[in-house]
């Protein structure tokens, strides 16, 4: 049975979209968890992702200088160190820029977060230079879908790694949130912060924990996308953060499955726009999608409608 | 006392040293395709060490420091009588007259560079005042304000390019066009809660920039549009030789030509636009709609209970704010003579927002003061150019922590209950 070329082309766009979409989902979880608990948009989250990418590149370069060739070891080390460092960044940012502002006007933490985002972006720009830094591909090759001769779709090994890592992370996070003691405390905080505090749970600690988890997930996305594209610069965080936030809103902000769904949906929409229309307009389509979703379903796909109380 | 602070002090110092050391102390170095690491050099290590030491001592002595801070005499409080006098309308009018007179005299006293800088300040004042309506008065966080600025600038530039429109007609069209965009964007999104609005407007600003960059057939893409006609004074041009059918200013008045005339004219024109902006906003503030903006910022639910339509009121603030951005954009395009999408990035939005926040949300004197500070400081400290945005981000964070109400918060006549 010979399938038409256009179908393979579509499958290829779908694979590319799901790859990028799953990393959007990882970043979006950070937004959605923080928003779910303290109702604040952590604008600097995209920069955490960017820092994660940089740390991964530094680790990879360092291991290469020590002459370590084993690819799995390098990847594991990149993940581990990058997650640790960004977690510390996430915690410090919460401590310095957001905690003192909690409980006031909603705009004030948001403006502080924008300031933090500008600060981090420029910190990296000054330290590492503003030009692109490229890394040779470590994992090449892939599996062909369709006939070997002629047009076919390819699922590269790197894309497979992205899917597998994302799946494992999601699975682990779901287990943590639904089964563990701290996960239960997280859910309680999202339900009613004040009441949870009254019941003797260290809510400050839980809020810090959500920032740490969000930062670690952003670091995973940073390592994966850094290796996937092979190029980073200090400005990647801004767009990625914006896209991930769009994904979080798309799926219903505050809901973790929603963030995943939104991320995948956004990734596929972008890939299809780029594949059939023009890659320059994929960002425009992403934002237009955001505006449309907010217009017709402000609570997102899986979100609960919010009732504002006096 | 000290022992209790020792642990957080050590932790914060170590965290800063490790975090900064990893990201700043090591540089990625690209040679061809190979990636290697190099140390950042001793001066960076010294800076990191100094930052860690500072945090260590700051946290160690924080109780003593706060006691010291409280013990400081602080600014001498103005005597009650002086405060009362300064609220007198006649005195306020005198103050404003003095300020305006000083602003008018400025270009004749200073040199060419000073006048140019003054024009730049005035553009930011106009943008700040416009955004102040949206953010400061109506309490809607608009992160895509630069989008309307771009619409105004490109609106005029394209009109001038394709239809040969002059500055004054262009100004009107640019304002109306920006208002239309504000209305169209505001209509769907203003029903949303504040923080969604922030992101949607941010997305809008980016959409505008990407479209300007990619619609090459219309906007010439990243190369921008040049040769935008300069403003004229009742049909008089400010050039050495007037174009056909026109007269130039120096011929009409009968003085010899000087290129400074145009710069002074541009400055005075900007001043005029700012004064009109100030006048309109102050009138609006005293109208029911202006009251409704502030009421809405304070409590939306109470407003609804009082029968104010929140969407309509927000939409009016959004549209009027956009209109002023359109005017500013048109003036910017005419002054530069060349525009490209580069001038309308998110950072520009952030700078305008910082002006509003720094000045004190809602306060017009504050916005003017902040615009002057934000424009002149970077000009004065050229050697810190690299660190400009870094310090700028830091300032936004610190400002929110220590003085969220801004430098000169808005004050209204009000009564306080004394118990």
Residue A115: closest CA among B353, B407, B145: B353
Q: Could you tell me whether strands A133-134 and B26-31 are parallel, antiparallel, or unpaired per DSSP bridges? A: unpaired
Q: Residue A18: beta bridge partners?
A: none
B208 in Cβ contact with A285 (< 8 Å): no
Of A115, A246, A310, the CB nearest to B301: A310
A232 in Cβ contact with A65 (< 8 Å): no
Quickly state the pLDDT bin for A84 (edges 50, 70, 90): very high
pLDDT value at residue A164: 92
User: Which of chain B's residues have a Cβ under 8 Å away from the Cβ of A283?
Assistant: 206-207, 210
Q: Which are the contacts of B348, defined by CB distance < 8 A and separation ≥ 6?
A: B146, B149
* DSSP 8-class letter at B37: E
pLDDT value at residue B87: 67
Residues A92, B36: C-beta atoms closer than 8 Å: no
**What interface predicted TM-score (ipTM) does this complex get?**
0.83
C-alpha dihedral (A125, A55, B43, A122), degrees to nearest 10:
20
- Rounded to a whole number of angstroms, the distance between the first and last alpha carbons of chain A is 64
Instruction: Please tell me if residue A68 touches chain B, with a CB cutoff of 8 Å.
Output: no
Tell me the pLDDT tens digit for each residue of B213-258: 888 888 787 888 887 777 777 766 666 666 666 666 666 666 766 7
Span of A37-46, A55-64, B59-68 with lowest mean pLDDT? B59-68
Specify the CATH class of B91-402 in words.
Answer: mainly alpha
* DSSP 8-class letter at B339: B
The rounded distance, in Å, linking the Cα atoms of A203 and A184 is 12
Residues B36, A308: C-beta atoms closer than 8 Å: no
- Residue A2 pLDDT more than 60? no
Quickly state the pLDDT bin for A105 (edges 50, 70, 90): confident
Residues A295, B206: C-beta atoms closer than 8 Å: no
Rg of chain B over all Cα atoms, to the nearest angstrom:
25
Judging by beta carbons within 10 Å of its beta carbon (0-12, 13-18, 19+), is residue B213 exposed, middle or buried?
A: middle
Q: What are the backbone dihedrals phi and psi of residue A138, each rounded to the nearest 5 degrees, phi first?
A: -95, -35
pLDDT value at residue A309: 47
Residue labelled with tokens 């796909």: A301
User: Could you tell me the residue ranges of all domains in chain B?
Assistant: 2-71, 91-402
Q: Which are the contacts of B15, defined by CB distance < 8 A and separation ≥ 6?
A: A88, A92
User: Which of A129, A233, A294 is the best residue to mutate to test the B interface, defined by the most B CB atoms within 10 Å of its own CB?
Assistant: A294
Residue B206: closest CA among A264, A241, A66, A230: A241
B334 in Cβ contact with B379 (< 8 Å): no
Q: Which are the contacts of A286, defined by CB distance < 8 A and separation ≥ 6?
A: A243, A246, A266, A269, A270
pLDDT value at residue A3: 63
- Residue B329 pLDDT more than 90? yes
Instruction: Please tell me if residue A92 touches chain B, with a CB cutoff of 8 Å.
Output: yes
Q: How close does chain A come to B90, measured CA to CA in Å?
A: 35
Cα-based distances in Å from A255 to A80, A94, A261, A304, B239: 26, 21, 10, 9, 62
A15 in Cβ contact with A159 (< 8 Å): yes
Q: What is the mean pLDDT of residues B338-345?
A: 88
Tell me the pLDDT tens digit for each residue of A143-152: 877 776 667 7
Please name the helix (run of DSSP H) or strand (run of DSSP E) that holds residue B265, with its range, or none: helix B260-286
Tokens of A227: 């290796």
pLDDT over 70, % of chain A: 95
* Torsion-angle region of A118 (φ positive above 0: left; ψ -120 to 50: alpha; else: beta): alpha
Residues A110, B200: C-beta atoms closer than 8 Å: no
pLDDT value at residue A129: 82
Counting every residue, how long is chain A?
A: 310
The rounded distance, in Å, linking the Cα atoms of B268 and B231 is 12
User: Which of chain B's residues have a Cβ under 8 Å away from the Cβ of A102?
Assistant: none
Residues A126, B390: C-beta atoms closer than 8 Å: yes
User: Which of chain B's residues have a Cβ under 8 Å away from the Cβ of A306?
Assistant: 193
Count chain A–chain B contacts defined by CB atoms under 8 A: 178
B121 or A7, higher pLDDT? B121
Tokens of A260: 């995943």
């Amino acid at each position: 049975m010979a399938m038409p070329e256009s179908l393979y082309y579509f499958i290829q766009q779908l694979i590319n979209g799901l790859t990028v979409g799953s990393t959007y989902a990882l970043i979006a979880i950070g937004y959605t968890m923080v928003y779910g608990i303290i109702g604040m948009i952590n604008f600097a989250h995209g920069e955490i992702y960017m820092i994660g990418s940089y740390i991964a590149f530094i680790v990879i370069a360092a291991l290469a200088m020590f002459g370590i060739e084993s690819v799995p070891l390098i990847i594991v080390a990149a993940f581990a160190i990058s997650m640790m460092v960004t977690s510390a960044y996430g915690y410090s940012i919460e401590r310095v820029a957001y905690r003192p502002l909690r409980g006031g006007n909603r705009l004030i933490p948001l403006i502080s977060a924008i300031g933090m985002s500008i600060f981090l972006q420029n910190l990296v720009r000054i330290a590492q230079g503003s030009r692109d830094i490229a890394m040779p591909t470590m994992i090449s090759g892939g599996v062909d879908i369709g006939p070997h001769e002629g047009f076919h779709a390819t699922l590269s090994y790197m894309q497979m790694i992205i899917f597998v890592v994302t799946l494992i992370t999601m699975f682990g996070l779901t287990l943590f949130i639904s089964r563990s003691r701290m996960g239960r405390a997280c859910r309680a905080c999202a339900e009613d912060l004040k009441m949870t505090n009254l019941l003797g749970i260290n809510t400050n600690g839980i809020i810090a924990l959500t920032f740490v988890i969000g930062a670690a997930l952003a670091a995973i996305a940073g390592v994966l996308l850094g290796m996937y594209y092979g190029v980073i610069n200090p400005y990647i965080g801004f767009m990625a953060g914006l896209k991930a936030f769009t994904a979080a809103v798309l799926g219903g902000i505050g809901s973790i499955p929603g963030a995943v769904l939104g991320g995948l949906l956004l990734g596929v929409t972008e890939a299809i726009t780029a594949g059939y229309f023009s890659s320059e307009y994929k960002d425009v389509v992403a934002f237009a999608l955001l505006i449309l979703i907010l217009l017709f379903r402000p609570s997102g796909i899986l979100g609960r409608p919010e009732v504002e109380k006096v | 006392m000290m022992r209790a602070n020792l642990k957080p002090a050590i932790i914060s110092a170590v965290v800063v040293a490790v975090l900064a050391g990893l990201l700043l102390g090591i540089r990625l170095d690209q040679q061809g395709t190979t990636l290697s690491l190099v140390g950042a050099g001793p001066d960076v290590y010294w800076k990191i060490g100094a930052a860690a030491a500072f945090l260590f001592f700051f946290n160690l002595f924080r109780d003593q420091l706060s006691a010291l801070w409280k013990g400081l005499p602080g600014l001498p409080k103005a005597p009650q009588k002086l405060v009362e006098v300064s609220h007198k309308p006649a005195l306020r009018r005198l103050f404003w007259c003095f300020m305006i007179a000083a602003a008018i005299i400025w270009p004749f006293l200073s040199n060419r560079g000073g006048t140019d800088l003054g024009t730049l300040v005035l553009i930011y004042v106009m943008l700040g005042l416009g955004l102040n309506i949206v953010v400061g008065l109506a309490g809607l966080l608009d992160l895509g304000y630069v989008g309307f600025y771009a619409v105004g600038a490109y609106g005029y530039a394209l009109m001038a390019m394709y239809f040969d429109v002059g500055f004054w007609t262009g100004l009107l069209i640019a304002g109306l066009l920006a208002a239309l965009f504000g209305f169209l964007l505001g209509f769907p999104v203003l029903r949303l809660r504040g923080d969604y609005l922030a992101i949607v407007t941010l997305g809008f600003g980016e959409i505008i920039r990407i479209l300007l960059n990619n619609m090459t057939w219309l906007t010439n893409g990243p190369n921008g549009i040049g040769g935008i006609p300069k403003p004229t004074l009742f049909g008089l041009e400010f050039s050495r030789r007037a174009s056909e059918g026109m007269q130039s200013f120096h011929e009409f008045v009968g003085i010899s030509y000087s290129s400074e005339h145009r710069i002074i004219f541009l400055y005075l024109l900007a001043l005029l636009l700012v004064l009109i902006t100030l006048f309109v906003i102050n009138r609006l503030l005293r109208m029911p709609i202006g009251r409704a903006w502030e009421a809405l910022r304070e409590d939306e639910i109470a407003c609804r209970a009082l029968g104010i339509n929140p969407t309509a009121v927000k939409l009016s603030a959004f549209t009027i704010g956009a209109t002023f951005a359109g005017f500013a954009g048109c003036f910017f395009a005419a002054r530069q003579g060349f525009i490209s999408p580069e001038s309308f990035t998110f950072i520009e939005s952030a700078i305008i927002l910082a002006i509003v926040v720094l000045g004190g949300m809602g306060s017009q004197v504050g916005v003017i003061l902040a615009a002057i500070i934000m424009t002149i400081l970077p000009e004065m400290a050229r050697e810190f150019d690299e660190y400009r945005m870094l310090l700028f981000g830091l300032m936004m964070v610190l400002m929110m922590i220590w003085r969220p109400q801004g430098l000169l918060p808005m004050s209204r006549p009000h009564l306080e209950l004394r118990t």
